[in-house]
């Protein structure tokens, strides 16, 4: 979730003046390696001559520093690297859009990892694995096996060969064949963009030297619901209303596609979008979304009475904003009737509802009925 936010924020930043700061930072990190310093000088001098993918795949400093910062969410280098990350992200998107690949892909990644990290994966079959850094893969299993290697003499290391199934019709994150732009120009390489990448852990088989782990790009829509909802909440708390709205709209589309039109889960999303419109000062769209949420709750006999009462109260507040005082009073009266039916007479919700109803009577000029 946070890697998704990091990606979105970084890719929205635009400050080409930070390039020199990035280069200076890299030189400082490799001050004791003349070989790497020479590569950094070349990067500084010739950056515009080669594609972002070419620089990433070249054996040197860039992908090491970048992925390290992404793994630990180190903000300072990520800010300094944001210009390059944005360029790399844009190139991956362009390559993905140019691709005519429609059939599912099978990609491989071989790597060694600490045994403790591998055990976490092995014990989480069926769970989700979040990838916070760029992920290099290949379509050739033999190449991935070379990277997996073997560690029979080291009991602290596990060799893993990841087999990743990807549905290219599901827009989870950019996945592009980078063979044409790779510095090495071979091995049918693909690069997966960081942020928003969840892969489901499948079964594994132990071979002679390494474990083969089946992974699937997370594209089960109803599992993505939680992700979009949490992102919407985070952006709302950060007061990034437009970004929160995008998340909730994406969430609503998924729910509308896979749930019944009167599923209570839709009501919450309608409410969230309505609240955003309210914060934007659009009372009509706020009202429409609140009313849609209410109609869903009313159509579901198992809906919680508190939700229905709260919906009526929210709609009443919008009617007041619009000057529709009689409609506001009727909604507030319905809210009070529901609370009165289910709650004890001394419950604070009743007190709040009585107060709101009294205010409705006041603005209507029906002062005698307030007491």
Mean pLDDT of 88-116: 79
The angle, 0 to 180 degrees and rounded to 10, between the axes of the packed helices 34-46 and 19-29 is 170
The angle subtended at Cα 284 by Cα 279 and Cα 287, nearest 5°, is: 80
Q: For the segment 37-74, what is each residue's pLDDT rounded down to a tens digit? A: 999 999 999 988 889 988 988 877 888 898 888 777 77
What's the rounded Cα separation, in Å, for the pair 263 and 267? Answer: 8
First to last CA, the chain: 51
The phi-psi region of residue 368 (left if phi > 0; otherwise alpha if psi is between -120 and 50; otherwise beta) is: alpha
What CATH architecture does domain 101-219 belong to?
Alpha-Beta Complex (3.90)
CA distance 289 to 279: 13
Mean pLDDT across 190-196: 56
What pLDDT is attached to residue 26? 93
Share of the chain above pLDDT 70, in %: 68
Q: What is the pLDDT of residue 129?
A: 67
The residue with greater pLDDT, 188 or 343, is: 343
pLDDT at 3 over 50: no
pLDDT category at 24 given cuts 50, 70, 90 is very high
Residue 46 is predicted with a pLDDT of: 92
d(Cα 328, Cα 291) in Å, to the nearest integer?
A: 13
What's the rounded mean pLDDT across residues 145-156?
A: 70
Domain residue spans of the chain: 2-94, 101-219, 222-370
Structure tokens at 356: 């709101």
**Residue 222 near residue 234 (C-beta atoms within 8 A):** no
Among the ranges given (230-239, 293-302, 326-335), the one the predictor scored with the smallest mean pLDDT: 230-239
pLDDT of residue 207: 43
Please tell me what DSSP assigns to residue 103: S
Residue 232's pLDDT band (boundaries 50, 70, 90)?
Answer: confident
Determine the pLDDT at residue 101.
65
Is there a contact between 5 and 231 (Cβ–Cβ < 8 Å)? Answer: yes
Cα angle 79, 109, 175 (rounded to 5 degrees) comes to 55
Cα 67 to Cα 136: distance, rounded to the nearest angstrom: 11
pLDDT top residue among 284 and 160: 284
Q: Enter the tokens of residue 155.
A: 């009991």
The winner for highest mean pLDDT among 171-185, 203-217, 226-240, 280-294 is 280-294
What pLDDT sits at residue 142? 74
Q: What is the pLDDT, as a whole number, of residue 371?
A: 47
Q: How confident is the model at residue 79 (pLDDT cuts 50, 70, 90)?
A: confident
Q: Between 78 and 299, where is the model more confident?
A: 299
Residue ranges of alpha helices (H) inside 139-213 are: 141-148
64 closest CA partner among 29, 24, 89, 35: 29
Instruction: For residue 85, name the pLDDT band (cuts at 50, 70, 90).
Output: confident
Q: Which residue has the tokens 């892909």?
A: 105
Higher pLDDT, 155 or 57: 57
For residue range 112-122, list pLDDT tens digits in order.
888 888 787 77
pLDDT reported for residue 23: 92
Q: Quick one: 222-370 is in which CATH superfamily? A: Tetratricopeptide repeat domain (1.25.40.10)
Give the pLDDT of residue 348: 66
Which residue's entry shows tokens 């992974």? Answer: 215
Least confident interval from 21-30, 199-208, 264-273, 298-307: 199-208
pLDDT exceeds cutoff 90 at 7: no
Please tell me the predicted confidence (pLDDT) of residue 180. Answer: 80
d(CA 96, CA 127): 27
């Amino acid at each position: 979730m946070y890697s998704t936010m990091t990606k979105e924020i970084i890719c929205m930043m635009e400050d080409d003046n930070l390039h020199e700061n990035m280069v200076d930072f890299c030189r400082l990190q490799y001050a004791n390696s003349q070989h790497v310093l020479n590569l950094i000088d070349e990067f500084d001098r010739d950056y515009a001559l080669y594609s972002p993918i070419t620089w990433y795949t070249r054996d040197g400093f860039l992908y090491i520093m970048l992925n390290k910062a992404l793994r630990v969410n180190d903000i300072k280098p990520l800010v300094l690297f944001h210009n390059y990350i944005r360029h790399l992200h844009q190139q991956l998107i362009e390559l993905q859009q140019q691709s005519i690949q429609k059939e599912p892909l099978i990609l491989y990644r071989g790597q060694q990892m600490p045994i403790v990290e591998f055990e976490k994966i092995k014990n989480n079959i069926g769970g989700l694995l979040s990838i916070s850094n760029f992920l290099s893969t290949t379509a050739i299993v033999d190449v991935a096996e070379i990277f997996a290697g073997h560690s029979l003499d080291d009991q602290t290391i596990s060799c893993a060969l990841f087999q990743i199934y990807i549905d290219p019709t599901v827009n989870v994150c950019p996945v592009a064949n980078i063979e044409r732009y790779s510095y090495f120009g071979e091995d049918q390489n693909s690069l997966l963009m960081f942020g928003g990448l969840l892969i489901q852990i499948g079964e594994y088989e132990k071979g002679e030297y390494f474990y083969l782990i089946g992974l699937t790009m997370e594209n089960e829509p109803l599992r993505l619901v939680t992700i979009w909802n949490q992102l919407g909440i985070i952006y709302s708390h950060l007061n990034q209303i437009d970004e929160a709205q995008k998340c909730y709209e994406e969430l609503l589309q998924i729910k509308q596609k896979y749930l019944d039109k009167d599923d209570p889960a839709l009501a919450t999303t309608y409410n969230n979008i309505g609240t955003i419109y309210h914060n934007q000062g659009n009372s009509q769209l706020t009202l429409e979304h609140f009313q849609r949420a209410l109609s869903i709750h009313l159509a579901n006999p198992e809906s919680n009475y508190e939700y229905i009462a709260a919906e009526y109260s929210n709609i009443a507040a919008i009617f007041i904003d619009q000057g529709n005082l009689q409609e506001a009073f009727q909604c507030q009266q319905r809210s009070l009737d529901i609370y009165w039916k289910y709650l004890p007479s001394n419950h604070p919700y009743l007190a709040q509802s009585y107060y709101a109803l009294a205010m409705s009577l006041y603005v209507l000029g029906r002062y005698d009925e307030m007491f």
